[in-house]
Amino acid sequence: MENDILDSLEDLGYDGSLLDPAALSEAVSQGPASTEFTKLVSWLTDRLKDFCGLEETIHATHSPDDAANFVMELSGCLRELNCPYTSLYEGGPVTERLKTKESAVQLLDYLTSELQTAHILAVKKPQELRSTTSPDNQSIANESDIAKHLKIMLIALGFPKPPANINSFQLFSRVETKVNEFMSKNPGVISKPLLKARLSDKQWEQIMKINDSLVREYTTRREMILKRLDVTIQSFMWSEAAKKRENEIAAVYQPVRKLLKASCDLSVADILSAREDLTYVHKTSSGDARVRCAINKVKIPKVPDRGGRVWEQEPPPPEMPSFQKRVAEEVEGVEEDGVTEGARSREAGGINSRGRVMEGTGTRAGEDMVGEGGGERDHYQQDGGHQGGGYQGGYNDGGHRGGGRGRGGRPGSGRGRGRGNY
């Protein structure tokens, strides 16, 4: 079978790398995962497209990851050719088709046989082919299309059948006169042409070049959008639920997909037939249009203003309080009946450990500390008396050499009195 395929490929004029038997055997073993195999299939289908007028186009893959998309395109092409081997494009998941070497060989045998048959029919019975791209058939198709539209136009204008000896200039001159007559009687039926200037042949040539450039640009864009559509549909097949219904999805998707073409059919004739009403912009969401659809049958009146504008709202409070300079609190003491109430600090008065402060005041200015001790440890003061012998005595001015109690202060800063030896 592989040797027959090689002979058929040589007869068909194929000059690719798969003319080598070893390379062909390796390619059919890999199937759609082989880029050379997909190139061969794309070459065969392109030749069939020239003879049979196929709408489907199969693109060769660049990596094994594109195999699933290639099989989907091939399935549409085989379905359009009415391929008798339904196992090649129906039944089972897309990724499982053409997995075996036998199925890949069967596909190549079918495509080569169909292409050889098309070559024979093109010579002996060309009328049985659906070709629309060969030069001779293309001119015939164009002439019949022009004649068809010309006949429709003459019947609409009420012209009798034109004589056989009339030329195209005379015919179109009469058509122009008749059209102007109808437009003058019914000015509101057809608006003025969008292109009012008369262009020279050189200008028309430039317009045709610009149109060709735009057609290529928008054809590329449409091909990209269609490819994205195919990839999106292909991604839906990844789920387990979709794999079980793959044939149903393909049966629904493929007929709709055939209607979407990448080619752009705009030409210079569309420029000549364009009218001024094309420049009018109609609101697709106007009130009249909204109430005519099946979704919005009720016209919603103007709703009240609910606010919500950012610039009308107050800013939120700060997250951190503002910093303020700290102010020292003043400490005040109240003297009542010789008992000091208030702050008792080391700087101000002293520390009363186990005795009682009976009378006296203590300030930061270095005043005396007047007290009477009664315990194991008497007052210790920064600016006041000196501890000794269980009694509080003066310092320099009022000692306790005589064992007496006394009250004294720092020399030169207070007064001292007591009972004892001075």
Please state the domain extents for the chain.
2-128, 335-422
More confident residue, 376 or 313: 313
Whole-number mean pLDDT of the chain? 72
Q: Which amino acid is at 57?
A: T
Residues in the chain: 422
Q: Which residues contact 371 (CB under 8 A, 6 or more apart)?
A: 355, 357, 358, 359, 360, 378, 379, 384, 385, 392, 407
More confident residue, 162 or 194: 194
Residue listed under structure tokens 């450039």? 213
H-helix segments, 31-100:
35-52, 67-80
Q: Is the pLDDT of residue 190 over 80?
A: no
Do the Cβ atoms of 279 and 76 come closer than 8 Å? Answer: no
Rounded Cα gap, residues 130 and 137, in angstroms: 10
Residue listed under structure tokens 């009798």? 160
Token reading at 160 = 């009798």
Percent of the chain residues topping a pLDDT of 70: 67
pLDDT digits (tens, 9 = 90+) for 29-63: 888 888 888 889 888 888 888 777 777 778 888 88
Per-residue pLDDT, 224: 94
CA–chain centroid gap for 43, Å, is 36
Mean pLDDT of 347-371: 41
Rounded Cα gap, residues 119 and 337, in angstroms: 135
Per-residue pLDDT, 245: 86
3-state secondary structure of 361: coil
Token reading at 385 = 């008396």
Q: Is the pTM of this model over 0.75?
A: no
Per-residue pLDDT, 365: 37
pLDDT band per the 50, 70, 90 thresholds, residue 241: confident
Q: Give the Å distances, CA to CA, from 3 to 20, 109, 259, 308, 399.
A: 10, 11, 39, 78, 136
Residue listed under structure tokens 């046989």? 113
Q: Which residues contact 354 (CB under 8 A, 6 or more apart)?
A: 375, 376, 377
pLDDT digits (tens, 9 = 90+) for 102-116: 888 888 988 989 888
